[in-house]
Structure 1
Amino acid sequence: MTANAADFAGNACGRRYEKEMETHFRDCLLFYLDGRIRFERYCYGEAACLVFSVWAHGLDADGSILWDREPEFESQKTALPRRLTDIQEEGRALQFDGAFKRYVHTEEFALDKPNGYGKWKVFWLKHRK
């Protein structure tokens, strides 16, 4: 499957896709205009917080996510989606590794300053596109 990660970023800075029907963790994939991808795992409950995150520099020709580095712990390694296997609902739902649970589009964001996508960077990325 040939796909470009930037195709899932939308027209603003990027888009957030959240794994559906997840009960213990909130797993999110963020796609940015420059083709970068960020995986974030949050815990639920009173102490809800970011558990870990990993950056990728895009997708290869087979749809495999090109993670910048592998997480240290096995539970984190198994949480990462590895290969895009299906695009559904005109790009609003993404299936990875043939799994039943999909990542569905939940938000489109104009900026993401905490992750390095401020006003000027987004401006240049849009004009480069």
Structure 2
Amino acid sequence: MTAKSTDFAGALCGRRYEKEMETHFRDCLLFYLDGRIRFERYCYGEAACLVFSVWAHGFDAQGKILWDKEPEFESQRSALPRVLTDVQEEGTALQFDGLHKRYVMTEEFASDKPNGYGKWKVFWLQRRKKG
């Protein structure tokens, strides 16, 4: 499947997609205007927190996510989506690795300062996208 990660970032700064029907963890994919992808896994419950996150620099020609660095632990490596196999509902639902559970868009955000996407960076990314 040929896709660009920027196709899923929206017009502002980026979009968050959350894995549906997940019970133990909250898995999210964040797509940014510059083509970067961030995977985040959170635990549920009273002590809900970020478990781990990984950055990618886009997709290859076959739809494989190009992770910058593989996680150290096998449980984390096996949690990562690997290949985009289907785009549904006009890009608001993404299916990876042929699995039944999809990542569904939950939010479009204008900035993400904790991850390096402050207002000025977003301004320049939007300007570059238009030009």
TM range, smaller chain: over 0.9
Matched, 1:94 2:94: yes
* TM-score computed with the length of structure 2 as normaliser: 0.98
> Which position in structure 1 is the counterpart of 2:75?
75
* Post-superposition offset of 1:115: 0.1
Equivalent positions of 1:29-40 (< 5 A) are 29-40=29-40
Query: Aligned residue pairs: how many?
Result: 129
Q: Deviations for 1:20-70, whole angstroms, at most 9, x for unmatched residues? A: 000000000000000000000000000000000000000011000000000
Q: Which residue number corresponds to residue 128 of structure 2?
A: 128
SS of 1:99's equivalent in the other structure is coil
1:27 corresponding residue in structure 2: 27
SS of aligned partner of 2:94? strand
Shift of 1:12: 0.5
**CA shift digits 1:51-101 (9 cap, x unpaired):** 000000000110000000000000000000000000000000000000000
* Alpha-carbon distance between aligned partners in 2 of 1:89 and 1:60, rounded to the nearest angstrom: 22
Give the match for residue 116 of structure 2. Answer: 116
Determine helix, strand or coil for the equivalent of 1:2: coil
Unaligned ranges ≥5, structure 1: none
Q: What is the distance in 2 between the residues matched to 1:48 and 1:78?
A: 21
Shift of the alpha carbon at 1:19?
0.1
SS of the counterpart of 2:12?
coil
Gaps of 5+ in 2: none
- TM-score, normalised with respect to structure 1: 1.00
Q: Does 1:57 align with 2:57?
A: yes
Using the alignment, how far apart are the partners of 2:12 and 2:47 within structure 1?
31
Quote the offset at 1:126 in angstroms: 0.3
Give me the whole-angstrom Cα distance separating, in 1, the residues matched to 2:128 and 2:12: 13
Deviation beyond 3 Å, 4+ runs, structure 1: none
RMSD: 0.3
